[in-house]
Amino acid sequence: MTMATGVDPANIERLIAAFAALTEPGEGVTRLGYSPLERRAHALFAEEMERLGLSVSVDAAGNSIAELPAAGGDGRVIGTGSHLDSVPSGGRFDGIAGVCAAIETARAVVASGAERRHTWRFVAFAAEEGARFGQACNGSRAAAGLTRAEDYATLRDARGVTMEDAMIAVGLDPAGVASARWSPEEWLAFVELHIEQGNVLESQDVPIGIVDVISGSSRLLVSLDGIASHTGGTPMRLRHDALVTASECVLACERLATDARHHGTRVTVGRLDVEPGSITTIPGRATFSVDVRDLDNQRQRETAVELVQLFEHIAARRAVDISVRVIGDTSPVVLPVSLVHELAAAAGSCGYDYRVMSSGASHDAQQISRVTRTGMIFVPSRDGLSHVPEEWTSAEQIAAGTEVLLAALTALDAHDGVPHGGATAR
């Protein structure tokens, strides 16, 4: 335990293990958004916070919010947190590290007995991963007022279940999502701790990353309809093969993302479904997802448009019908320089080296930046791996990030979030 802060790596390790145990059978962690397992994880978060004496509420979008009241101040709120859902067969640290850091921060503050000038809120966001419904950051989007009640009926998972029905099934109220919106006037700042999901920090032996820009993401769902027919009875020249068409589209994604105009653009086809799925039947239908990520807002959208044009050309040449639907679109976000400096000062005060860096992944902080000043702290990911069972960050590394988080929130609380001097990356 660090005497200066009271942050305990052993407690963080206990929390990580407890959340990791809430998973579907199989490799890694599978705890999808708006599933009973995700709600059990939120219940565990509530239990931990209530044990510390905090009050906990759940909003209509499924976000769990624990509150530590202020002793004085101007009534504005300081917050931290992350998400508790995972991708299929993912790791135990993505999102969960930030929630465990929030719980440990609350425990350290309560144990210290220190007075606070502002209310502190600790948040476990719902359904951050887009793995189930295509759209990411659903809980934080609701908090930022970016989602309407009617939107939930338009998003479906692979089994055809709408997000609306999934939410109702676990006791949430999608019709009341407007009540989950946060008021900008109420907030002072929000800071999210997250694993890096890359190998920059590890490769440079730097324990803390401070994020200045978060990548945007445009997501497409492409459906190709050809003609399913017998593999032996249909000559190659007469085929309308949906899978071959999809394959050409996938390769077009790679070509575009690696040309000279797109340095820094990432395009990924993460899912490809084929029907009827018989070894002796030419595929009549193929559906695939496309995720376009970029730090350049204009290039991100232009890339998505150019890809659709390429897909349409390929489909027309192969006489296959095509439809494309946008299932998610989030702009890149530049985080406030003043808060980057604040986090850098906190890292320095804790004795940690750090580097200022961009985030290629989307995060709840990206949505919350529409509500209040928002910052992000990264801790290293072993071998840069994430969204896989091998994902790993040590409890000591998360504890270091939590010390910086606690120092930053304490400084923000002390001077109302007004920057008290800059800092430069080391």
Domains located in the chain, CATH noted: 9-214+332-414 (3.40.630.10), 216-330 (3.30.70.360)
What mean pLDDT do residues 143-170 have?
A: 95
- Report CA-CA distances (Å) from 63 to 180, 228, 299, 353: 8, 44, 32, 33
Q: What pLDDT was estimated at residue 79?
A: 98
The per-residue pLDDT of the chain, averaged, comes to 94
Total Cβ atoms within 10 A of residue 194: 29
Phi (first) and psi of residue 326, to 5 degrees: -80, 120
Q: What pLDDT was estimated at residue 85?
A: 98
What mean pLDDT do residues 343-365 have?
A: 96
Q: What pLDDT was estimated at residue 253?
A: 98
SS (H, E, C) the chain: CCCCCCCCHHHHHHHHHHHHCCCCCCCCECCCCCCHHHHHHHHHHHHHHHHCCCEEEECCCCCEEEEECCCCCCCCEEEEEEECCCCCCECCCCCHHHHHHHHHHHHHHHHHCCCCCCEEEEEEECCCCCCCCCCCCHHHHHHCCCCCHHHHHCCECCCCCEHHHHHHHCCCCHHHHHHHCCCHHHEEEEEEEEECCCCHHHHHCCCEEEEEEECEEEEEEEEEECCCCECCCCCHHHCCCHHHHHHHHHHHHHHHHCCHHHCCCEEECCCEEEECCCCCECCCEEEEEEEEEECCHHHHHHHHHHHHHHHHHHHHHCCCEEEEEEEEEECCEECCHHHHHHHHHHHHHCCCCEEEEEECCCCHHHHHCCCCCEEEEEECCHHHCCCCCCCCCCHHHHHHHHHHHHHHHHHHHHCCCCCCCCCCCC
Residue identified by tokens 């995060």 is 363
Structure confidence by residue, pLDDT tens digits, 32-60: 999 999 999 999 999 999 999 999 999 99
Distance CA 312, CA 318 (A): 10
Q: How far is CA 242 from the centre of its chain?
A: 32
Q: What pLDDT was estimated at residue 75?
A: 80
What mean pLDDT do residues 106-125 have?
A: 94
For the entire predicted model, the pTM comes to: 0.87
Distance CA 63, CA 423 (A): 34
Residue identified by tokens 């719902």 is 126
Phi (first) and psi of residue 146, to 5 degrees: -95, 0
Q: What pLDDT was estimated at residue 135?
A: 87
Q: What pLDDT was estimated at residue 158?
A: 86
What mean pLDDT do residues 72-78 have?
A: 81
Q: What pLDDT was estimated at residue 140?
A: 97
Nearest residue to 143 via CA among 58, 19, 212: 58
What mean pLDDT do residues 193-218 have?
A: 96
Are 251 and 290 spatial neighbours (Cβ–Cβ below 8 Å)?
no
Cβ within 8 Å of residue 273, ≥6 positions away? 158, 286, 287, 288
Q: What pLDDT was estimated at residue 139?
A: 97
Q: What pLDDT was estimated at residue 421?
A: 42
Name residue 42's amino acid: H
Q: What pLDDT was estimated at residue 2?
A: 43
Q: Is it the case that residue 283 has pLDDT exceeding 70?
A: yes
Better pLDDT: 425 or 331: 331
Q: What pLDDT was estimated at residue 112?
A: 93
Q: Is it the case that residue 117 has pLDDT exceeding 80?
A: yes
Q: What pLDDT was estimated at residue 424?
A: 39
Most confident by average pLDDT, 67-81, 105-119, 395-409: 395-409
Q: What pLDDT was estimated at residue 167?
A: 98
Q: What percent of the chain has pLDDT over 70?
A: 96
Q: What pLDDT was estimated at residue 115?
A: 87
Q: How far is CA 382 from the centre of its chain?
A: 19
